[in-house]
Amino acid sequence: MSENNFHPVQMLCFFKETEISIPQIYREIEHTLSMVRALLKQYQEQTNYLYILGKK
């Protein structure tokens, strides 16, 4: 498993830019991770689509 080291300010900016709520309690972490995973999947699909369009 790779380790990602993000500065706390980077993390705050990420949450602000994506409008995902920062988990305030432990129980909220899994929900937040699900939202981040969905956003990542959407980003990957969009960039893959743009890559395919660029190859034509």
pLDDT in tens, 3-41: 678 888 998 999 999 999 999 999 999 999 999 999 999
pLDDT value of residue 1:
44
Give the domain ranges of the chain.
8-54
* Residue 43 region by backbone torsions, left for phi larger than 0, else alpha for psi between -120 and 50, else beta: alpha
| Reported pTM | 0.68
d(CA 35, CA 38): 5
**CA atoms in the 13 A half-sphere facing the CB of 50:** 6
